Amino acid sequence: ILSYSVFFSTSVCKESTAVFAANGIDITPRKDQGVFKVVKRQGLDGDRPMIGDKVTVHYTGKLLTGKKFDCSWERKEPFCFNVGKGQVLKAWDIGVLSMQRGEVCTLLCKPDYAYGPTGNPDKIPPNSLVVFEMELLNFEGEILTADGGIMRRIKVKGEGYSNPNDGASVDVHLEGRCGDRLFDCRDVGFIVGQGEDKGIPLGVDRAMDKMQRGECCLLYLKPKYGFGNEGKPEYKVGPDKDIVYEVTLKNFKRAKESWEMDLNEKLDLVSGVKTKGNQYFKAGRHHQAVIQYQRIISWLELECGTGMEQHKKIQDYVLTAHLNLALCFLRLKEFSQAVDNCNKVIEHDESNEKALYRRGEARLLRNEYSLAMADFQKVLEVNPLNRAARAQLSSCQSKMKEHQEQEKKIYANMFQKFAERDSKVCKLTKRRKDESMRSGMNGEVGIKRRRRSQDCPS
Amino acid sequence: MLKVQIGTNLCGKYFLISTACYGVNYTRHLFIQRETPEEDLKPEDYQQFRDVGAACLSGGDGQQLLKFIQDEKNQVTSLILDGRLTLDESRAASVGLALSALHKQLSRLPVPYTQQQEEADEHGLCCCCVALATFTRPFVDGVKKKDENCNPTPEDDELKAEILKFCMLSLKEPLLEAELNRDRKSTLWLFAVEIMIILSAIRESLPGLLFFSSLRKFTTMDTDLSKESAACLAYLLFVQLIAMDTFPAVFNPVFILQCNMEHINQLLSRYAISKLQALFAKSLEKVEDNSLPVGVLDLESFYSAPQILYLINTSDCYFFPNVLCLFYTNTISYRSLLCRCMLKTSHHAGVEGYIVNNIRSQIQSTIKGEANKWFLGTELLLLLELVLSLPQAAETDLLTNMDKIMESLNLLRYLLTRDKELKSDADVWEELCRIKDEYLKMLRVCISMSRAYYSAEMKALKEERKLKQARSTRLLKTITVKHDKVSHMSPEVQYQVLQSALVTFDLMESLVVRIDEITEEKQGKPH
């Protein structure tokens, strides 16, 4: 530590650059002396971060003059980013990938690998050499979905800025493992969104749009994105198992995006998409069905068509897609999404029986009893013969009663409780008043906030 | 259920706060003299203030409450706050409800857009913002203290989430619409600063909100809110430079630009023109010359770039010359970006033909002008990929796409005559030739298929006429072109249509042949 602070003292700086260069290692791939590293403290021997990993570091950045321009310790907030993806300075991507967990090191960076000729307006002059002290606190795979069900670690970085979109045709090499056992190894081509047809797990399919051409990565899949609670007997994988797939994206061809197609193209293709969605739904593959139905909506929701007939055709497709999505989301227990889709239909058609019924179902399952009842009642207005709706209505009423009984119990003694509390408050305030009057701090009673520890217990 | 009235009696001396709780049949009246010395307030008064406060909020009278707090800042605020702090049951949720309700009242007030309006504060928005910030402070301080003492509970996390929601709501309204100026620290500016301070106090990472939020599930709000708020946050940070000094300085400017494009698109959808222009310019400023990979421009978020430039062009924003300069020096050419966009989205052969013609003129002027030579590199290839492509491969309708195809062939012919200048980059030239060969191959197939089809139609028509002439003098016949029936045309006219189609194919083919000839000539020449 002593030598470290000497290192940064202004008077010594110029010589120290040379010292640095002499003691440090050139960690650039091209060995152009752009980044020198000196390890200050060894990390835990073991693996190093992989490209795309979410890394957590603490750092201090200084100019050669010793002036500090950035410091995460001062913010008391470790800094997180995905390494090796061009999110940060080039020197950092190279530097952090070379570190081990717990390692502390110093990086001397030439401007090409740091702030370049532009510099950074207030803090860093153009063409500056900079020094970073880094500590690698942690690293973990990159989470690709909000529910954390797919985690990726990249072995070989791909290239290019485009990724396979839904409908793209991809060529991949797959290796699936459960524990250490390899159960699936093949070269296969499939269409993104329809990987199910070739026995590709949902997680691999969904990860495609984050992969680059030529990339090789490991995907850690939770059961929801793997083989679910059924498992896959052909592969001898049991229910609710985590699996790992090594995927190499050899090549792909993007499908046209909605704005790249004209209306006629879309109308030609849409019935096929709908059929596909229905197939998946029948087979119980609700996630996959959702993907297809959402495609229909993304293609057609902003289209008007020319003439009444075409306009009606488009509208039918969109509304049916929303109804189907609502049903899928009911099965997937994503009730708010179910409600959203029903709402889209009801906006257009207040008396749509199916939409009202499904929205009622979703609301009932969310314990929104009065709203659910309103929906089922509307269904019966539209179609008095709907027996299912009648049954649901009585189910609502009995559930609501149960709920009210419970609430009564909770709030029965509410005012009693308040009265009890009032008397406690009175006692406390009086005591404090007395105390403060004794200490002579007049006029400040009540302005001092009561400490939590003196609160009345609930 | 609860009805609340706050008012003053005739001489302005007393506040009458009455609550009537109809369900349970009891009422409380509270007369409080203004400027009542603290000591004279009884404990029951504290309790009633608290209940009244709650009642105000649930009854939708938050604005009155805010004004009340503002007016009687010193004593009453602390009383009500004291009351709040002793709420034990689901404190976070009730704080959240209070903040949401208060903010809802705030959002109904119109946002001032000139300095005079802001200073006059006719509708009280600025005033309410200050009051709201004051109201929030104790909760934030409480949470911060807990963090420092390292014993936060799940309850604290819930409270943080509610405070975050309040910040996001405030960013959306009024800050997204407000006119903020760094040099004139107005009330709304200070409110913006306050929001940033709160975000820092609740340990909410700004990079997390601005760059990495796509994977985050916000428990207390929907994605639309978080997107709009994040856009405002980006503006406050990068343009107004609020909290910029503590923002990490280690991000790659290209990455920042990519992320900010999402925010810029949000601002565009909210029509916050000056804000988005400023954010766009600031983000471009830091990108080093020639470091923006051209492929980045194909990202969907960049497709609004021409729209933004158009807006800049047509307004008298002072960023105009700077941004255009940046654009030209940053390996993006405004026109080429526009061309690419339009080629991908216009679906109209006439327009496409016009654009291809435009591209040719641009190449012409680039070669003549000796400037912007980088345009003749990767960027040109990306343009050519779009220009030299048949939308339905071999089944492309050549007649519908005639305009574009003819212009494309002219462009190709031009490029070949300029091979000397273009060959300076060998890789680019090789790729250009590959694109050309693939295109011409496909086009030849297409021409021969179309020609065969139309010739067959012509032959059938001739046969029909012969038969008809032999039989009767009926003139009408229907031709099916694609799925539509072309009726009401006399056979003579139909014949002419088919004839001109064949002539068009001949014309196209002759161009292709000419291009082949030129290629061979050039290959024959020594280097």
Tell me the C-alpha distance between B525 and B504, whole Å.
32
Nearest residue on chain B to A258, judged by CA atoms? B345
- pLDDT for residue B69: 53
Q: What would the mean pLDDT of B388-395 be, rounded to a whole number?
A: 81
Residue among A69, A430, A455 minimizing CB distance to B86: A455
Token code pair at residue B139: 């909760």
Q: What is the mean pLDDT of chain A?
A: 86
User: Nearest-CA distance from B385 to chain A in Å?
Assistant: 14
pLDDT beyond 70 at B89 = no
The pLDDT assigned to B271 comes to 80
Q: Which residues of A touch B300 (CB under 8 A)?
A: 257
**Residue A334 or B346, more confident:** A334
Residue of B nearest to A120 (CA): B286
| Residues B163, B101 contacting (CB under 8 angstroms) | no
pTM strictly above 0.90: no
Nearest in space to A216 (alpha carbons), one of A246, A253, A189 = A246
The chain B residue lying nearest A132, using CA atoms, is B250
Nearest CA in chain A to B77: A447
Mutate to test the interface with A, among B250, B265, B269, B287 (most CBs of A within 10 A): B250
Q: What is the pLDDT of residue A212?
A: 93
A-chain residues near B347 (CB < 8 A): 262
Tell me what the mean pLDDT of segment A189-212 comes to: 95
| Cβ–Cβ below 8 Å for B212 and A259 | no
Asked if B249's CB is within 8 angstroms of A430's CB, the reply is: no
Among residues of chain A, what percentage have pLDDT more than 70?
86
Domain limits, chain B = 1-87
Average pLDDT, stretch B447-475?
82
What DSSP line would sit under B12-45, residue for residue? S-EEEEEEEETTTTEEEEEEEETT--GGG--HHH
Q: Measured between CA atoms, how close is B347 to chain A, in angstroms? A: 7
Query: Residue B385: its chain A contacts at CB < 8 A?
Result: none
Query: Residue B101: pLDDT above 50?
Result: yes
Judging contacts by C-beta atoms under 8 Å, the chain A residues touching residue B344 are: 259-260
Burial per residue of B141-175, b for 16 or more beta-carbon CB atoms within 10 angstroms, e otherwise: ebbbebbeeeebeeebebbbbbbbbbbbbbbbbbb
Q: What is the pLDDT of residues A75-112, one digit of tens each?
A: 888 999 999 988 999 999 999 999 999 999 999 999 99
CA distance B472 to chain A (A): 39
Put simply, the answer to whether B288 touches A426 (Cβ < 8 Å) is no
Q: What number is the average pLDDT over the span A363-387?
A: 91
pLDDT, average across residues A164-174:
95
Q: How confident is the model at residue A409 (pLDDT cuts 50, 70, 90)?
A: confident
pLDDT of residue B323: 45
Task: Report the percent of chain A where pLDDT is more than 90.
Answer: 64
Most confident of A447-451, B342-346, B494-498: B494-498
Burial class (CB in 10 A: 0-12, 13-18, 19+), A94: buried
Q: Across residues A36-57, what is the average pLDDT? A: 92
Separation between Cα atoms, residue A154 and residue A49, nearest integer Å: 10
Q: Is the pLDDT of residue B326 over 60?
A: no
Confidence of residue A169 (pLDDT cuts 50, 70, 90): very high
* A99-108, B255-264, B513-522 — most confident range: A99-108
Are A425 and B39 a contacting pair at CB < 8 A?
A: no
CATH, domain A150-253, list 3.40.605.10, 3.30.2180.10, 3.10.50.40, 3.40.1710.10: 3.10.50.40
Average pLDDT of the residues in B508-526:
86
Measured between beta carbons, which residues in chain B are less than 8 angstroms from residue A160? Answer: 295
Q: Which of A55, A80, A93, A118 to mutate to test the interface with B (most CBs of B within 10 A)?
A: A118
Quote the pLDDT of residue B300: 65
Contacts of B24 in chain A (CB under 8 A): 415
> Comparing A375-384, B5-14, B83-92, which segment has the lowest mean pLDDT?
B5-14
What mean pLDDT do residues B54-73 have? 54
pLDDT for A431 beyond 80:
no
Confidence of residue B370 (pLDDT cuts 50, 70, 90): low
Spatial separation of the C-alpha atoms in residues A299 and A314, rounded to whole Å: 10
pLDDT given for residue A458 in this prediction:
26
- Residue B360: per-residue pLDDT: 83
**pLDDT given at position B82:** 41
Contact B295 A161 (CB under 8 A): yes
Higher per-residue confidence, A444 vs A127 = A127
Q: Closest residue of B to A130, CA-based?
A: B250
pLDDT tens string A131-145: 999 999 999 999 998
pLDDT at residue A195, as a whole number: 94
Nearest-neighbour CA in chain A from B100: distance (Å): 21
Q: Which residue has the higher pLDDT, A85 or B153?
A: A85
Cα angle A120, A121, A123 (rounded to 5 degrees) comes to: 70
Q: How many CB pairs under 8 A join A and B?
A: 117
Q: Which residue of A has its CA nearest to B213?
A: A146
Q: Do A123 and B249 touch (CB under 8 A)?
A: yes
Higher pLDDT, B86 or A237: A237
For residues A229-253, give the mean pLDDT: 94
* Residue-level pLDDT at A63: 93
Grade residue B275 by pLDDT with cuts at 50, 70 and 90: confident
Question: What number is the average pLDDT over the span A332-339?
Answer: 92
| Cα distance between residue A318 and residue A322, in whole Å | 6
Please tell me which of the candidates B212, B254, B298 has its beta carbon nearest to residue A86: B254
| Chain B residues within an 8 Å CB radius of A117 | 288-289
Residue A374: band (very low, low, confident or very high) from pLDDT cuts 50, 70, 90: very high
Closest partner residue to A88 (CB to CB) among B47, B251, B286 is: B251
Q: Specify the higher pLDDT residue, A316 or A433.
A: A316
Average pLDDT over residues A309-338: 94
Give the lowest-confidence range in B102-111, B150-159, B397-406, B484-493. B484-493
pLDDT at B240 over 80: yes
Among candidates B46, B88, B217 on the partner chain, residue whose Cβ is nearest the Cβ of A146: B217
> Is the pLDDT score of B35 beyond 80?
no
Mean pLDDT of A267-295: 95
pLDDT reading at A66 higher than 70: yes
> Is pLDDT above 50 for B312?
yes
How many whole angstroms separate alpha carbon B160 and alpha carbon B96? 10
Which CATH fold topology does A9-140 show? Chitinase A; domain 3 (3.10.50)
Q: Is residue B53 over pLDDT 80?
A: no
Q: d(Cα B479, Cα B453) in Å, to the nearest integer? A: 13
Contacts within 8 Å (CB) and 24+ apart, A394-402: A395/A364, A396/A364, A396/A369, A396/A372, A397/A373, A399/A364, A399/A367, A399/A369, A400/A369, A400/A370, A400/A373
Higher-confidence residue of B426 and B328: namely B426
Residue A153 pLDDT exceeds 90: yes
Best residue in A83, A425, A445 for a mutation probing chain B (most B CBs within 10 Å): A425
Taking CA atoms, A90 is separated from B254, B256, B295, in Å, by 12, 14, 19
How does residue B526 score in pLDDT terms, banded at 50, 70 and 90?
Answer: low
In the predicted model, what is the mean pLDDT of residues A383-394? 91
B395 touches B498 (CB < 8 A): no
pLDDT at B59: 52
Architecture of the A263-399 domain: Alpha Horseshoe (1.25)
Chain A nearest-CA distance from B306, in A, is 16
CB–CB of B286 and A77 under 8 A?
no
**Cβ distance of B215 and A145 shorter than 8 Å:** yes
Residue A146's pLDDT is 83
The alpha carbon of residue A378 is apart from the nearest alpha carbon of chain B, in Å, by: 28
Which pLDDT band, with edges at 50, 70 and 90, does B468 fall under?
A: confident
Q: Do A429 and B46 touch (CB under 8 A)?
A: yes
Tell me the ipTM for this assembly.
Answer: 0.75
**Cβ–Cβ below 8 Å for A88 and B253:** no
Question: Who among A70, A120, A146 is closest to B216 (CB)?
Answer: A146
Q: What pLDDT was estimated at residue B109?
A: 83
Question: Which of A77, A144, A426 is closest, CB to CB, to B205?
Answer: A77
> Which member of A72, A77, A455 has the closest CB to residue B203?
A77
Query: Are A86 and B255 an interchain contact pair (Cβ–Cβ within 8 Å)?
Result: yes
Closest-approach residue (CA) in chain A for B205: A77
CA gap A53, B151 in Å, rounded = 30
* A145 contacts on B by Cβ (under 8 Å): 215
Q: Which chain A residues contact residue B298 at CB under 8 A?
A: 161-162
Mean pLDDT of all residues in B370-376: 64
